[in-house]
Chains A and B, each alone.
Chain A
Amino acid sequence: MTRPPLLAPMLLAAALALGATQASAQQTERLTATFSTGRAFAQGEWETAQLRGAEGNDMVIGRVPAMQLRLAIPQRYTSPPKRVRIYISLPQIALGLRASGSLELSWQSGGTFLPGKLRAGQRAVLFEGIASSSTLSDTIAFLIHLSGSDMDANLDRVDIEPIYEIEAL
């Protein structure tokens, strides 16, 4: 009989804290993204294949083959359809990177999404328009640029996790 009075303040506090989170989430809300290929993989290559005259160039490029990027749009943006803006951003930290200063992610799209490029910690507009269905998808081909010096040799790979966020306009 003593538990409900204790539980009530706890949940109330949690609900209040959640209210603050939701308030900011009304600005942008994270979206669930899936790739049609299941995984996106790029075999890194040296940007300059020739060694002669390329001294000091340790830039690595990785081309991800074109695939479908599908974004799950919550119902509150589609029913009724709302004008929305969707962002893509890169975290400052990526698994396998000792430093992210050289990392650049660029992409080409099929026309629904906007092409663009990002550095770690930056955000770009991926889509702006009416959200009318529960899935927004387009062809996308990512290109990764980074310095080989920034790679953690012990891991031998870099995992980049772009974040997709939506906001109603």
Chain B
Amino acid sequence: MRRLVVHGCTLIAALLGLSAQAQTITLAGPGNQLGIAVGASGAGVSTVSFTLGSQAIGTPVPQSGAAIPIEVAFRSRAGGAVRTAQLTANPAAAFPNGLTSGANTVPWTEISWTVANTTTNGFTTTVTSPSTGSFPAVFPTAVLISLRCATGNRFCYIQSDYTFSYKNTNVVAAGTYSGTMTYTVSAF
């Protein structure tokens, strides 16, 4: 019996010895990531210009400018819930009503656009993107792009070329009219 007791103690000690403590390294999941690019990479503020000869003013034949690419990207971990990213536009603070030339203003409603060359680069994405539009009298704009990442998508992406036009509806005083529009993407 004495010998059995000794074996029992050895067994317990050995079992305790087998349960070496481990230390856990915890990695917290990264946050979702939202990106936007308006215009060419590294180009600063992209500019669209319309030059009207005196005979073209107020004809009203729209005048088209250059196309500007707009990209929206959204990255989340796989298996996440459905996510939606939305693109809207607001005028910069200095140009609340439109493009200005001294005291004269061309309202933002005179600027319209068409959308072409939309691509999602093969990433499964549900996109709502009106093919045409124009800036409203009251901002922000309606949603210009709605990007919906379905459950399980880790990356959603869209790029479109926006070709802006000046509607040229009215005769305005001669001058160079400038304004800045700011695009914002938000996700929820």
In the bound complex, residues from chain A placing their C-beta under 8 Å from that of B174 are none
CA of A98 to CA of B75, assembled, Å: 19
Q: How many residues of A contact B (CB 8 A)?
A: 59
Chain B interfacial residues counted at CB < 8 A = 38
Which A residues are closer than 8 A to B by beta carbons? Answer: 4, 7-8, 11-12, 14-15, 18, 21-22, 25, 30-35, 39-46, 49-52, 55-56, 58, 60, 62, 64, 69, 74, 96, 98, 105, 142, 144, 146, 148-154, 156-164
B35 lies within 8 A of chain A by Cβ: yes
Contacts of A31 in B (CB 8 A): 20
A157 and B26 alpha carbons, distance in the complex (Å): 7
Q: A11-B4, A21-B18, A33-B22 are in contact. Are A153 and B27 (CB under 8 A)?
A: no
A-B contact pairs, 28 of them (CB 8 A): A4-B4, A11-B8, A21-B14, A25-B18, A30-B18, A30-B20, A32-B20, A33-B20, A35-B23, A41-B28, A44-B27, A46-B33, A51-B34, A55-B123, A55-B155, A58-B154, A60-B77, A74-B17, A96-B27, A98-B79, A142-B25, A144-B27, A148-B77, A149-B77, A153-B77, A156-B29, A159-B24, A162-B22
**Is B45 part of the contact surface with A, judged by Cβ < 8 Å?**
no
In the bound complex, residues from chain A placing their C-beta under 8 Å from that of B20 are 30-33, 164
**Taking chain A's interface residues, is the majority helix, strand, or loop, or is none over half, making it mixed?**
mixed
Find chain B residues with CB under 8 A from A50 CB.
35
Q: Which residue of B lies closest to A35 (CB)?
A: B23
In contact, B26 and A58 (Cβ under 8 angstroms): no
Q: Enumerate chain B residues within 8 angstroms of A74, measured Cβ to Cβ.
A: 17
Q: Let me know if B37 and A52 touch, CB within 8 A.
A: yes
